[in-house]
Structure 1
Amino acid sequence: MSSASTGAGGGSIGLPGDPPGGRRALGIWGLGVGVYFVAIIFRTSLGVAGIDAAERFHINASALSTFSILQLLVYAGMQIPVGLLVDRLGTKKVLALGVVLFTVGQFGFAFSHSYAMALASRALLGSGDAMTFISVLRLGSRWFPARRGPMIAQVAALFGMAGNLVSTMLLARLLHSAGWERTFAGSALAGVAVLALMLVFLKDHPEGYEPAPHPHLGKGFVRRQIALAWREPGTRLGMWVHFTTQFPAMVFLLLWGMPFLVESQGLSRGTAGELLTLIVLSNMTVGLVYGQVIGRHHGARLPLALGTVAATATLWAVTVFWPAGPAPMWLLVVLCVVLGACGPASMIGFDFARPANPPERQGTASGIVNMGGFIASMTTLLAVGILLDATGNSYRAAFASVFVLEALGLSQILRLRARAHRREKERVLASRVETVHVPA
């Protein structure tokens, strides 16, 4: 049984056995969020260094996109294995391994002089990064009451975007003042610091709230975990919500936003960096709003997700296909504000999967959901790079690929929404009956 069930139109229902939260929970969870914050700095550092990377390694647009594609391929491919590891080993062990991997990857990228070594370093970084967010979600569910789930997830994502802010504001400046090696190696020291802190202070769960042991950890455990999580319509709906909402902003921030704004829109690097920063600030603001709204009204989940998709597609189309040369600054500003809502909207995917799965399957379900947006991002990053090379750097043709994936994701959301809603209502009724009729 899930640790919390949610009504179609109301808030979460806390069940007996919910962890109490409190200051200690906030401190432990905050440490996990700090690890995720550092991982996001490392993940997005290439986004402000794309032009420099092309010059350093003497590569074209397709080869440049391969950096992010490989990193996201590793990330997406590891989501289900990581979810299984978190369910089986707990948060601390998985998170510690993740920190080691992404720190070594960032150090390796700092001292890479060949394209192959740089690719290997980003793959290693992606492996470690893949272990962070699911671990942080699991940590929040173990230390806070279930009714706090939507807000806890949104705030975790908010701090992740703060890591993106460090990349766009600090690393971008350091890159041109301190140079490539000092910037990337210096940032890697943050990984060493958070590893030391978490090894000393991080705890998987409060005392007295140990998770129930898995009844079957032998042969077939992995297959059963994945099959049971996938069977839930809420898990699949969550994956497609994540798929459809996250990737436009991810593609823009992770790699192609800076080249588009500089090369296609004729902006300076400084102005382009400010617009990327605006996306991050918008993300942080919208995340708090979405978390509050969903925490109070779970019926708002799908309207918020679909509204974000519609607004993103509209602004993307108007900007990319602006008829008279570069788009005006006001339109670029509005586009970046709307792109800031993509991250918070993608978090709604976890709010569909969370009540659909019991506590011992939360990591696996979260891994399936998290795959969605990163598969979409990886596909679009590749498509943009190939189309830029094929069309002579036509961003109109390259950025039009976004609409194909949005249409695919939207069709799946509309197909699954009724089924997931019915299943969630069944779980709510079952949990209420089980809570009221306690055996003597």
Structure 2
Amino acid sequence: MVPQLMTAFDLDVADIGWLTSSFLCLYLIFQVPGGYLADRCNARALLVICSLLMAVACYWFSISETMLSASASRAFMGVVTSPVIVVCMTLASRWFPERYFPTLAGLIEAFALAGGGLGPLILPNLMEAFGWQGAMQAAAIFGVVLAAMIAIFVKSTPPVSVSDVRLHEVTCGADLEIEKVDTSPFDRVSFSLCCMYGFGLFAVITSFGGLWGIPFFYERFPGEQEAVADMVALVFVGAAIGAPLLGWLACQVGSTRKVMMACAVISPIFFSMLIFCQCSMLVMALICFMCGISSGGYMLAFSVVKSISPAERVGVLLAITNGSMLLAGPVMQLLIGFILEGIGHDGLSALSIQDYQLAFVPLLLCQLLALIVAVCLKKQ
């Protein structure tokens, strides 16, 4: 959609950067307010309202005639979608026992990643048939349909909540245990470590898969543009598969921390192979896929945060965790860009494979940070 937008609004590259970043900036800023709403409001009503407002934002974007209007509509999209992930996780925690939460959180993240992956496949066909305005209006219609489906099928709370069942079991079993649960203080250190863990692993997905992977592979495999795009997409496919798979594994093992440590060990190994290994495209595609699976362990941080959070603050704390992960994208993308700009002064075409490898070292350090955090994290 970028070329069409540049033509429609007479934009340069910097303007496109501002237009696309307006969504993420507001999405990050409104994570905490969105989490507060998730804690205080009816979950079904909040999802319906967010879906309808997102439909309004898509239609607004489709009829925008100026850069200011388009940026404002994108920013509005970021505001109205900020509570959605947290609300979905809150619903999962209400309807299912806590031991299933890692798997369910992984499934929610998998569908979110799948939505991002399906966009580049569906939007080009819609734009070819109806133009970019028609494609956005189709997205608005889908938002209205989604809101109707949520209103019909989603229930905010089960007849007997999971927390009530657990409370009954604990009360019947041991009075001392329930007193301990109620009076245990919130572990701020573990919460901070979880945020850093998510930042460290998610940085690979957003920075390498989201931006710098394609120009790196263009240099690594010249003349294979289409294959390169598919290869980078395997990072997202691997993460979408790995998130629920690792959540299920954590449930089976009975220790989220052990699986987090395993991911933090395996992820830098595969990423090192990805940037330094001299191999065929087929082998590199497999490495990209495995790198995505191991990096999908970032979602395990949600499970630990959920387990240590006070019931009345779960939404806010999950939102902060989500925001810390998303922050990895702009921070590491900019850092890698600054390193590459300092190395080569004649644009991307003048950069070598060795230049990219040097610029990707901070991503390896992020993954090593995740490993240190996993070792330090208390067993929950």
TM-score, scaled relative to structure 2 = 0.78
Find the counterpart in structure 2 of residue 305 from structure 1: 263
Find the counterpart in structure 2 of residue 271 from structure 1: 227
- How far has the Cα of 1:130 moved from its partner? 1.6
Pair 1:203–1:250, CA change in 2 (3 A): same
Deviations 1:141-168 (A, max 9, x none): 0011111111111111222222123213
- How far has the Cα of 1:138 moved from its partner? 0.3
Tell me whether 136-145 or 399-408 shows the greater mean CA deviation: 399-408
- How far has the Cα of 1:392 moved from its partner? 3.7
Q: Map 1:376-395 onto structure 2 (within 5 A).
A: 376-383=328-335, 391-394=345-348
State whether structure 2 residue 38 is matched by structure 1 residue 86: yes
Q: Map 1:271-350 onto structure 2 (within 5 A).
A: 271-297=227-253, 298=255, 299-311=257-269, 313-318=271-276, 329-330=281-282, 332-341=284-293, 344-350=296-302
**Distance across 2 between alignment mates of 1:116 and 1:381:** 25
Match of 1:163 among 115, 127, 134: 115
**Distance across 1 between alignment mates of 2:22 and 2:122:** 25
User: Please, which runs of 5 or more residues in structure 1 have no aligned partner?
Assistant: 1-48, 213-227, 425-440
Contact preservation (8 Å) 1:148, 1:295: yes
**Distance across 2 between alignment mates of 1:398 and 1:74:** 30
Aligned residues: CA RMSD: 3.3
Pair 1:168–1:181, CA change in 2 (3 A): same
- How far has the Cα of 1:61 moved from its partner? 4.3
Match of 1:72 among 13, 16, 24: 24
Given residue 318 of structure 1, which amino acid in structure 2 is its aligned partner?
Answer: F
Higher helix share: 2
- How far has the Cα of 1:356 moved from its partner? 1.1
Pair 1:269–1:96, CA change in 2 (3 A): farther
- Aligned length, in residue pairs: 352
Match of 1:238 among 176, 181, 194: 194
- How far has the Cα of 1:174 moved from its partner? 3.4
Find the counterpart in structure 1 of residue 326 from structure 2: 374
Find the counterpart in structure 2 of residue 414 from structure 1: 372
Given residue 128 of structure 1, which amino acid in structure 2 is its aligned partner?
Answer: V
Given residue 252 of structure 2, which amino acid in structure 1 is its aligned partner?
Answer: R
Match of 1:201 among 138, 153, 156: 153
Find the counterpart in structure 2 of residue 225 from structure 1: none
- How far has the Cα of 1:386 moved from its partner? 5.9
Secondary structure of the structure 2 residue equivalent to 1:341: helix
- How far has the Cα of 1:253 moved from its partner? 4.8
Q: Relative contact order (alpha carbons < 8 A, sep ≥ 6): 1 or 2 greater?
A: 1
Deviations 1:99-156 (A, max 9, x none): 2333233223333443333322221122222211111100000011111111111111
Pair 1:389–1:412, CA change in 2 (3 A): closer
**Distance across 2 between alignment mates of 1:313 and 1:238:** 21
State whether structure 2 residue 60 is matched by structure 1 residue 108: yes
State whether structure 2 residue 105 is matched by structure 1 residue 147: no
Contact preservation (8 Å) 2:60, 2:73: yes
**Distance across 2 between alignment mates of 1:62 and 1:308:** 37
Find the counterpart in structure 2 of residue 363 from structure 1: 315
- How far has the Cα of 1:405 moved from its partner? 5.6
Identity score, percent? 20
Pair 1:261–1:71, CA change in 2 (3 A): farther
